[in-house]
């Protein structure tokens, strides 16, 4: 049986058996060529195409995700990843020749990508299909056996994924494990060859500790407070529209959403007006219309609703001004798409990643303020710059650090499979997508082959005067 649903008393044995099946099969899977690996992925693709309506229904049931967003942010990225792998896998798998230095004359060297072995993919709830299947595609392309753990917060989508994995792969190649935090903790006790985790920094630290215990590889896709900076030279209407789209997508529950906006003081009121106009254009002019909009997501559960509502209420109480939105409904877990102005850098909503549909706008006079604030926080997963002045854009890119960046747009760097996607520091470790994902789930093995001719014997012991002179001569080549 492909899907292992673990009751508490069965966790140790059931999980161990599933892991052992994968580990026993890993060498057979590792030896497959590109055609065999792609055959598995083509079957997965066909199943996705045949079940996309069921996926949309599951995501709508879990947190009212609009069908258009399901197609654009869940299905499309996975299909693009599958197509990119189909086109390039054969080339990625070829051994890569490297140059030979003079002192190693007579040898040849290459680097070959070999599978890591049996890997774990732990996915979050906010994009539960995309953020499980995309790394799964990379892991399978690299020749690994895979255990997947989706979030328990999206039960209908988890059930969809369970059926999909069961029908797409043999049970000893890919397995999906259902369960909550106790199952996640049990997974971390198993000696996987690589741990791939998408989620928050608290659990990310535990995953990294587990990888260290097993001396395994680890990829952490975390989050953080990703800023958008609107320079005095920016196209305000375009900036507002793109920021609003990226912020309120998925109900604000996107790891690379613009968390907050820094805007030059001279453009603040213009930006606020343009943000309000964009919000009304997207979701409706009135609070009632926005609440009834089929295009706006809900918070995933009561805990997420309460946390974001608390941040909003405390920030308004501290003096922030509600420019648009602000309404909430606990019964349906609705938080209106909201814009806040007069937000201080130390306001409650600036203390943690918002992960909800509330956009604080902060004004600045000097770019030094922005640079200092970004540097003082944890390195964000993304940083967005809006402006026409190349020197300002370059300064922000050069004087800050972030997992990725866009200039005059948001989020779209995530859609290019030729770009690595990942964090840095507090926002993560490692990257994936496209060839980067293939490399993440591979070990690059160095191979040197000795030919008939070799100079190395000149340096073998016993170390005569001649050997010492040769060694010194060789060193002088690099002085």
DSSP string computed for 336-377: --EEEES--TTSGGGSS---SSEEEEEEESSHHHHHHHHHHS
Residue 84: pLDDT over 90: yes
Find the CATH number of the domain harbouring 248: 3.40.309.10
Q: Note whether 353 and 389 are same-domain residues.
A: yes
Residue 25 three-state SS: helix
Per cent of the chain over pLDDT 90 is 89
Domain residue limits at 75: 3-222+430-443
Q: Note whether 345 and 283 are same-domain residues.
A: yes
> 440 with 139: CB under 8 angstroms?
no
- pLDDT (tens digit per residue) in 371-409: 999 999 889 999 999 999 999 999 999 999 999 999 999
> What mean pLDDT do residues 328-350 have?
97
Looking at residue 8, what is its pLDDT? 42
Q: Note whether 174 and 233 are same-domain residues.
A: no
319 within some domain? yes
Looking at residue 464, what is its pLDDT? 82
> What mean pLDDT do residues 60-85 have?
97
Looking at residue 187, what is its pLDDT? 96
Q: Note whether 157 and 10 are same-domain residues.
A: yes
> In total, how many domains does the chain have?
2
Point out the residues that are catalytic.
Answer: 221, 255
DSSP string computed for 369-391: HHHHHHHHSPPPSEEEEE-S-HH
Closest CA to 72 of 84, 88, 55, 47: 55
Q: Note whether 8 and 150 are same-domain residues.
A: yes
461 within some domain? no
Q: Which helix (H) or strand (E) holds 156?
A: helix 155-168
Name the pTM for this structure. Answer: 0.94
């Amino acid at each position: 049986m492909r899907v292992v649903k673990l009751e508490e008393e069965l966790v140790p044995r059931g999980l161990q058996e599933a892991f052992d099946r994968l580990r026993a099969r890993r060498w057979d899977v590792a030896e497959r060529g590109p055609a065999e690996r792609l055959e598995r992925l083509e079957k997965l693709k066909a199943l996705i195409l045949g079940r996309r309506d069921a996926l949309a229904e599951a995501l709508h049931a879990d947190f009212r995700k609009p069908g258009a967003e399901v197609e654009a942010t869940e299905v499309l990225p996975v299909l693009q990843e599958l197509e990119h792998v189909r086109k390039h896998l054969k080339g990625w798998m070829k051994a890569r020749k490297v140059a030979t230095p003079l002192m190693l004359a007579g040898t040849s060297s290459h680097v070959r990508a070999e599978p890591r072995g049996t890997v774990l993919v732990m996915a979050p709830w906010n994009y539960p299909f995309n953020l499980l299947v995309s790394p799964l595609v990379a892991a399978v392309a690299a020749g690994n056996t895979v255990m997947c753990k989706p979030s328990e917060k999206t039960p209908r989508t988890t059930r969809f994924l369970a059926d999909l994995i069961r029908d797409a792969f043999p049970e000893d190649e890919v397995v999906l494990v259902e369960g909550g935090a106790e199952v996640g903790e049990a997974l971390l006790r198993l000696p996987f060859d690589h741990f791939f985790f998408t989620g928050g920094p608290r659990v990310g630290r535990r995953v990294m500790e587990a990888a260290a215990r097993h001396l395994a590889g680890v990829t952490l896709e975390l989050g953080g407070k990703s800023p958008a900076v609107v320079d005095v030279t920016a196209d305000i209407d375009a900036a507002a529209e793109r920021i609003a789209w990226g912020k309120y997508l998925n109900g604000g529950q996107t790891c690379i959403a613009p968390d907050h906006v820094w805007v030059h003081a001279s453009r603040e009121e213009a930006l606020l007006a343009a943000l309000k106009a964009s919000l009304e254009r997207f979701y409706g002019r009135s609070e009632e219309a926005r609440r009834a909009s089929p295009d706006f997501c809900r918070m995933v559960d009561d805990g997420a609703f309460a946390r974001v509502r608390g941040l909003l209420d405390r920030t308004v109480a501290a003096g922030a001004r509600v420019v648009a939105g602000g309404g909430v409904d606990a019964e349906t877990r609705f938080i209106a798409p909201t814009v806040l102005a007069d937000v201080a850098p130390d306001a409650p909503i600036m203390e943690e990643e918002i992960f909800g549909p509330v956009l604080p706008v902060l004004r600045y006079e000097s770019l030094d303020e922005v640079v200092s604030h970004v540097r003082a926080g944890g390195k964000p997963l993304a940083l967005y710059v809006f402006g026409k002045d190349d020197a300002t854009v370059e300064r922000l890119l050069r004087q800050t650090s972030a997992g990725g960046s866009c200039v005059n747009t948001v989020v779209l760097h995530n859609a290019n499979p030729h770009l690595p996607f990942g964090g840095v520091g507090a926002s993560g470790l490692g990257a994936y997508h496209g060839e980067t994902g293939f490399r993440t789930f591979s070990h690059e093995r160095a191979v040197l082959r000795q030919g008939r001719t070799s100079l190395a014997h000149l340096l073998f012991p016993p170390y005569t005067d001649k050997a010492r002179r040769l060694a010194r001569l060789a060193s002088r080549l690099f002085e």
